[in-house]
Amino acid sequence: MSPTVSEAPGHTAAASSSAITIRPLPGSFAAEVLGLDLSQPLADDDFRRIHQAHLDHHVLVFRDQHITPQQQIDFSRRFGPLQIHVLHQFQLPGHPEILIVSNIVENGRPVGLGDAGHYWHSDLSYVEKPSLGSMLLAQELPAEGGDTLFADQHAAWDALPEPLKARVRHLKAEHSYLAKYEELRARSPWRPKLSEEQIAQVKPSVHPVVRAHPETGRLGLFVSEHFTTRIVGLPDDESRALLAELFERSTLPAFQYRHVWRDGDMVFWDNRSVVHLATGCPEHLRRRLNRTTIEGTTPQ
């Protein structure tokens, strides 16, 4: 089902802008959006054009976006309801829809989730209705490092050998937010101890290993090294071996786009089509971004 073109809070009718350019980024599946100011009302025709570009390219890079948290929230909501991350400790004050992704420590406390994206993953794949997409807006960027990698899961599926396609086509896998949480917490200052209430919010979910995109119908792999724990119905050793093979095949360099962040970038990726990975940056360099996450549908 396509997102509804709707009036977001504070949204007023606007004239369509012919100045918007959607330009494929060379050597990748991603595209950049130029000539768009998201601090201004967005016409329905322009929204539909951006929505289609998002389906076509999976990753859109909106350049030169110097917008407020509420403007990011309002634009995100035009694609669907927003999901609130379980780590309430890193919500932007006054805007729980925004998760702060940052390595900055102030007064001895981390201001955001500093190790987000340590493993390849699709955001919130561990809930019943995984994310449609995420929007990540640069606030403060390091002088070096901090790139984000994306891998096209439709291309990964298309490239699988036919016997492997037949083997996994109708399998299901469990996804759990807790899969690597304690491992990360043991070596990272960014992971707080979860309360019982938080643990109850992230009970494991089971989804198809191969999902059909709900808007385009394209098949793609839907497993990741961060959150996928096991293949349902397979012995543990067989499950581990199969997942390891799928993890490797799903993130081959041929399927990747590397995003090198610029000031004012807001990146909008389709969690139904890609997995992503943070490459990290030197610890002494500050990095901060604001993330909104849009609810999707139950994978089929």
What residues act catalytically?
121, 123, 276, 291
Give ∠ CA 108-226-273 in degrees, rounded to 5: 115
Dihedrals phi, psi of 180, to nearest 5 degrees:
-125, 15
Query: What whole-number distance in Å separates Cα of residue 287 and Cα of residue 136?
Result: 12
Query: What whole-number distance in Å separates Cα of residue 149 and Cα of residue 93?
Result: 28
Which H/E stretch holds residue 197? helix 196-201
Distances (CA, A) of 266 to 35, 133, 212, 283: 13, 13, 27, 23
CB distance 118 to 241 below 8 Å: no
